[in-house]
Structure 1
C-alpha cells in the first residue's frame, strides 16, 4: 500500500534543499501528535513525511490518512512493510525517500515529538559540516500519560550512561556516539555506502545503534555528530513497561531478548 497526500513528482537528482522524515509505525494511537509536531516546524521548507506502517492491527493507517486529508499543506506518503521490525520498516522508508531524490533523510518515531526547530537544525548541521554524515541529538521525556516526576533527569542521564557502558563492554569508542532512532538524520550517500539499517526487529537487535557504529567505522569517527540542541521528546512507555534495570539489560545483552527478557515490541 502506498498513498500520497499531496502527490509530488519523482526527482531524478538529489533534492539538496529538501528533507524527508521517516516515521515507522506499529499500533500508534497518538501518531497524529508526531505529525502535528512535524507540521509545526518553524523551518518546514520542502518536507515530505514517509509513515511506514509495520503491520498495525488498529486504525493507525486510517489516522494518518485522515490527518493527511485534513492538512494538504503537509506532504505525507504512507508505505506498508509487513516484515516485522523497525529495522525493516525504516529501511523501506529510507530507500523509498532516496529513490524519490532526497539527499537527507531524518527519522523519528510515532510516539515522539521533535522540537519546533528540529528540521531547521538538521539542515543547518549538514550545510555547515560537509564531513558529517549522520547526526543525532538529545532525548527528553514526552509529557504523555507515561511521564513521571524525575524523568527529565532520568532519560538524558540514562542515555549517556548507556553509551559509556556499551563502549566499555565492547572496547569500542564508536558506541560513545551512537544515535537513537527517534532523533537522527543521515545523508543518502552515507546510507547507501554503509548498507543502511539491518532489516531486523527489536527482539533481535537495535538497528539504530548498529547503524551508528557502522557509519563511524566505515566513514570515520568524525562522520557522526551529536548536537545537544537537536531535541526530540519521546514517550517513556518502554521504561514503564520494562523497568529501568531491564531496559539496560535489554540494550547491553541483546542475546537475552526473548529468553531472560520478555520482549515487549511496542515500538
Structure 2
C-alpha cells in the first residue's frame, strides 16, 4: 500500500493539516514540519477538493522524505471545520494519544512539536499556541506589530463577548488559533471535536474552545508554541475588515479562500 494512504497506526502525536489549492505554499509547510526537533509524529493532510497541484506536491514530497510519516486523505464536504475534523478523527481512529493542527499556508517553528508535548506534560488537555505573521510575505515590521496587537485585542474582547458567556463553563474563554492548537485525543472525542462547518458559517476553532470549557479547566495559551501564519487576508481585505470577519462575520467578502 502507498505510504500516503496507509491505514497503519499513527505516531502518538498526529497533526492534521487541511489543504485546499495550496500549491504555492504547502511545500514550505511540509519543510517546516520536516525540520521539527521532535520528529515523533504523523502528518495527516486532508485534501478538501483541490484543483491545483497540491496533492501532487504532497506525493512528491513524501517520495523525497520516506522517513516522514505522511498520510493523505480526502474530504468532499467543503469547509475548514469538516476538513480539520476529518484529519483529527483520523488520528483518533488510528491510535493517536495527542492531536495537533496547523494549516497548509503556515510555518511551524522548529520546536513546535517539542513545546506542544511539554505543554501536555504540564497537564494541559488543550493547548492554544501563539500565532505570528509570516516574515516572507512583504509585511513591514510596523504592520506585523499592529497585527500582533490586533490578536491581543481580539483575545481580550473574546473574553467579554456575549456569545462566549453562559452557564456551564468551567473557565474563561480562550481564543484558539485553528492553525496552531493541540488537544488530547480523549478530550477531542468527548468534546465532539471541530463542528463540520464552513468557515463562512462558523469559526470552528471558537466553537471547539467553548465546547472544551464545559468539560475541563486544563486548557491555556502557551506563547512558546509558535506558528507563523499567512497574512493573505489582511493584505487582501485590510486589518479592519479582517478583524470584523474573524469577530462575527460583520465583513463578508465574496471569496474567503484567498490564494
Normalising by the residue count of structure 2, what TM-score does the alignment of the two structures yield?
0.90
Aligned match of 2:16: 22
Aligned match of 2:184: 187
Aligned match of 2:168: none
Please tell me whether the aligned partners of residues 21 and 107 of structure 1 are also in contact (alpha carbons under 8 angstroms): yes
- Structure 1 residue 171: Cα displacement: 6.7
Aligned match of 1:248: 243
Aligned match of 2:107: 113
Aligned match of 1:48: 42
Candidates 200, 203, 210, aligned match of 1:203: 200
- Structure 1 residue 93: Cα displacement: 0.7
Distance 2:173 2:189 in 1: 23
Aligned match of 2:3: 4
Distance 1:113 1:3 in 2: 26
Residue correspondence of structure 1 range 99-248 to structure 2 within 5 A: 99-129=93-123, 132-170=124-162, 172=164, 176-216=173-213, 218-220=214-216, 222-248=217-243
CA displacement 1:107-163 (0-9 Å, x = unmatched)? 00011111111101111111221xx21101211111223533323312321111112
- Structure 1 residue 5: Cα displacement: 3.9
Aligned match of 2:72: 78
Aligned match of 1:95: 89
CA displacement 1:219-264 (0-9 Å, x = unmatched)? 23x221101111110110111112111112112223x464xx4342
**Matched residue pairs, number?**
253
Q: Could you say if the C-alpha distance between residues 3 and 238 of structure 1 is closer, same or farther in structure 2, counting changes exceeding 3 Å? A: farther
Distance 1:37 1:181 in 2: 17
Aligned match of 2:62: 68
SS of residue in 1 equivalent to 2:193: coil
Deviates more, 1:139-148 or 1:73-82: 139-148
Q: Could you say if the C-alpha distance between residues 205 and 188 of structure 1 is closer, same or farther in structure 2, counting changes exceeding 3 Å? A: same
SS of residue in 2 equivalent to 1:225: strand
Please tell me whether the aligned partners of residues 146 and 236 of structure 1 are also in contact (alpha carbons under 8 angstroms): no
Where structure 1 has 5 or more consecutive residues not aligned to the other structure, the ranges are none
Please tell me whether the aligned partners of residues 173 and 209 of structure 2 are also in contact (alpha carbons under 8 angstroms): no
Please tell me whether the aligned partners of residues 158 and 175 of structure 2 are also in contact (alpha carbons under 8 angstroms): no
RMSD: 2.1
SS of residue in 1 equivalent to 2:141: coil
Q: Could you say if the C-alpha distance between residues 245 and 99 of structure 1 is closer, same or farther in structure 2, counting changes exceeding 3 Å? A: same
Candidates 27, 32, 38, aligned match of 1:37: 32
Where structure 2 has 5 or more consecutive residues not aligned to the other structure, the ranges are 166-170
